[in-house]
């Protein structure tokens, strides 16, 4: 349990630091581009502007940290109940918020600091209440369902976000969170890991669900950082990557709390998600975004 918790905390630090660095790179790339060159007719970032943001050194370092966080998070998902591992990893919101003060010039209100405190308290409650993780086996039909739903969310979500444009930051953050949540479930049920069997691993649909969810979630999170509040986008991501995987872990994979502490686990989970939503709500006033020029759509025809 302790090794799993430390692994999840390390993943959280990597993800939180990476998010802020990616936001810095995205905004620097936007400042260096003509105002009309990086958006679609709907006001959202086009693929070229997203690619340009991904070429900044801050974004590259942030992406490296994301990959390190992914590896640590995958290990945590195998060692802890999903409701605990995903929630601890989602506490990267706290790292994101604190670092954004220094690196993005964002001022956090008293309500935001209170919400962050609620998230931290909730994590302590969850860690206290969590029992051992359940099994790693699921019927093959579940693996195929996971792949199908992940494809639908990532491909359909990408199209929807591009059509909605500049107003889709929270949706993009939520969809990226659902992608990362599907990734956590996929890692948990992946066959061919223990004992290692390359043939079984390569023929498992869960492996391809992990790849689609990872790359799709990263792209959608990048879009969310380009068009909206870094704290708001990250908080929406938190909701997506905790609620559904946590429920799947409890209902289908056998995750459980310590005997007699189910109420504490539920309380901690609700407080963690509620605190993240509060940060998203109170983070709408971010001063660093006020001075950013409004996107100008590309001319039609």
Question: Tens-of-pLDDT digits for all 301 residues of the chain?
Answer: 788 889 999 998 998 898 788 778 777 766 666 554 455 544 555 556 666 666 788 888 988 998 899 889 888 888 888 888 888 887 777 787 788 777 777 777 888 888 888 888 888 888 888 877 666 788 899 999 999 999 999 998 888 887 877 677 778 888 988 998 899 899 889 998 878 889 999 999 999 999 999 889 888 887 886 776 666 676 777 778 888 888 888 878 878 788 888 888 889 888 887 887 777 667 654 444 444 444 434 443 3
Please give the pLDDT value at position 295: 43
Please give the pLDDT value at position 150: 95
**What is the 3-state composition of the chain as percent helix, strand, coil, each rounded to the nearest 5?**
75, 0, 20
Cα–Cα distance for residue pair 196/151, rounded to 1 Å:
26
Please give the pLDDT value at position 58: 82
Output the pTM of the full model: 0.73
Residues 277/278/281/286 CA torsion (nearest 10 deg): -110
Q: Which of 82, 62, 64 is nearest to 4 (CA)?
A: 82
Please give the pLDDT value at position 18: 87
Between helices 2-32 and 82-90, what is the axis angle to 10°?
A: 40
Q: Which of 15, 17, 23 is nearest to 90 (CA)?
A: 15
Contact between 286 and 229 under an 8 Å Cβ cutoff? The reply is yes
Please give the pLDDT value at position 205: 95
Please give the pLDDT value at position 149: 94
Cα–Cα distance for residue pair 11/71, rounded to 1 Å:
8
Cα–Cα distance for residue pair 116/111, rounded to 1 Å:
9
């Amino acid at each position: 349990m302790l090794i799993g918790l430390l692994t999840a905390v390390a993943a959280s630090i990597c993800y939180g630091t990476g998010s802020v660095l990616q936001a810095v790179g995205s905004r620097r790339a936007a400042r260096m581009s003509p105002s009309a060159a990086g958006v679609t007719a709907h006001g959202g970032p086009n693929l070229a502007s997203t690619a340009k943001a991904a070429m900044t050194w801050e974004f590259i370092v942030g992406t490296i940290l994301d990959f390190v966080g992914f590896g640590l998070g995958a290990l945590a998902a195998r060692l802890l109940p999903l409701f605990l591992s995903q929630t601890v990893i989602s506490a990267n919101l706290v790292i994101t918020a604190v670092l954004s003060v220094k690196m993005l010039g964002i001022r956090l209100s008293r309500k935001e600091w209170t919400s962050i405190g609620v998230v931290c308290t909730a994590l302590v409650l969850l860690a206290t209440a969590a029992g051992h993780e359940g099994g790693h086996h699921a019927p093959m039909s579940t693996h195929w369902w996971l792949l199908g739903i992940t494809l639908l969310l990532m491909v359909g979500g990408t199209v929807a976000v591009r059509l909605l444009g500049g107003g889709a930051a929270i949706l993009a953050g939520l969809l990226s969170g659902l992608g990362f949540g599907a990734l956590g479930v996929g890692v948990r049920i992946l066959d061919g890991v223990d004992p290692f069997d390359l043939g079984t691993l390569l023929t498992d649909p869960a492996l391809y669900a992990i790849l689609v969810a990872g790359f799709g979630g990263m792209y959608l999170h990048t879009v969310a950082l380009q068009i909206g509040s870094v704290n708001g986008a990250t908080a929406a991501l938190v909701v997506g990557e905790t609620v559904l995987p946590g429920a799947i872990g409890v209902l289908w994979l056998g995750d459980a709390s310590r005997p007699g502490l189910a109420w504490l686990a539920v309380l901690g989970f609700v407080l963690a998600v509620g605190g993240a939503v509060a940060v998203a709500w109170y983070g709408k006033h971010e001063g660093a975004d006020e001075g950013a020029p409004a996107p100008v759509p590309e001319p039609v025809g």
